[in-house]
Amino acid sequence: MSNNMDEVLKETNFDFLGPKKAGKVRDIYDQGDKLILVTTDRHSSFDRIIAHIPWKGQVLNQITAFWMDAVKDIVPNHIIDVPDPNVTVARKYKTVPVEAVVRGYLTGVTGTSLWTHYSQGKRDFGNFQLQDGMKKNQQLLRPVFTPSTKEDAHDRTLSPQEVVSEGILSRDMIDKIEATAVALYNRGVEIAAEKGLILVDTKYEFGVDDHGTIVLIDEIHTPDSSRYWQKTSYEERYAKGDEPEYFDKEFLRLWFRDHCDPYEDAVLPEAPAELVEELSRRYIQMYEQITGTRFEKGEMPVIARIERNLKSYGI
Residue 268 vs residues 259, 261, 264, 274, 276: alpha-carbon distances, Å:
9, 8, 9, 17, 15
Amino acid residing at 223: P
Would you state the pLDDT for residue 50? Answer: 97
d(CA 53, CA 209): 35
CB 138 within 8 A of CB 91: no
CB 200 within 8 A of CB 105: yes
Would you state the pLDDT for residue 61? Answer: 98
d(CA 145, CA 142): 10
Confirm or reject CATH 3.30.470.20 for domain 95-240, answering yes or no.
Answer: yes
Domain residue limits, the chain: 95-240
Q: Spell out a b/e string for 182-201, using b for 16 or more CB atoms within 10 Å of the CB, else e.
A: bbbbbbbbebbeeeebbbbb
- Mean pLDDT across 284-294: 98
Nearest to 77 by CA among 60, 65, 86: 65
Would you state the pLDDT for residue 2? Answer: 45
Give 98: exposed, middle or buried? Use CB within 10 Å, 0-12, 13-18, 19+.
Answer: buried
Amino acid residing at 22: A
Predicted confidence (pLDDT) per residue in 254-264, tens digit: 999 999 999 99
- Residues near 49 by beta carbon (within 8 Å), at least 6 away in sequence: 24, 42, 43
User: Does residue 5 register a pLDDT over 90?
Assistant: no
